C-alpha cells in the first residue's frame, strides 16, 4: 500500500494536505484575532473599563438564608421521593 501511495504521489499529497491544513489554521487565527480586536474596540468605545460595576454592597441577608435552606430542602425532598418511587 505504501508503494501504491508513493506511486500516486502520496508523499507530496501528504505535504500538500499539511500545507492546506496549516493555511486554514492560520486563517482561522487571523480572523479570530481581528474579531477579538473589533469587539475590544467596541467595548472601549462604549466606556468599558475592564471591570463590571456592582449594583450594591454584597451582604448575606435573612432572605438569602431562607432561600438557601428552601433550596437545600427541595433537593433533599426530590431525592427522597425519587428513591422511594424507584425502590
pLDDT digits (tens, 9 = 90+) for 21-78: 888 999 999 999 999 999 999 999 999 988 888 888 889 999 999 999 999 999 999 9
Dist. CA 61–CA 69, nearest whole Å? 13
Q: How far is CA 22 from the centre of its chain?
A: 23
Would the pLDDT of 86 be above 80? yes
Query: pTM of the predicted model, to two decimals?
Result: 0.43
Give the position of cell 430542602.
Answer: 73
Q: List CB contacts of 2: < 8 A, sequence separation 6 or more.
A: 10
Amino acid at each position: 500500500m505504501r508503494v501504491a501511495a508513493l506511486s500516486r504521489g502520496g508523499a507530496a499529497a501528504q505535504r500538500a494536505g499539511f500545507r492546506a491544513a496549516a493555511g486554514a489554521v492560520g486563517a482561522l487565527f487571523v480572523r479570530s484575532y481581528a474579531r477579538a480586536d473589533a469587539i475590544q474596540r467596541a467595548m472601549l468605545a462604549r466606556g468599558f473599563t475592564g471591570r463590571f460595576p456592582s449594583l450594591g454592597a454584597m451582604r448575606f441577608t435573612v432572605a438569602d438564608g431562607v432561600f438557601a435552606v428552601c433550596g437545600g430542602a427541595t433537593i433533599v425532598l426530590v431525592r427522597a421521593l425519587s428513591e422511594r418511587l424507584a425502590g
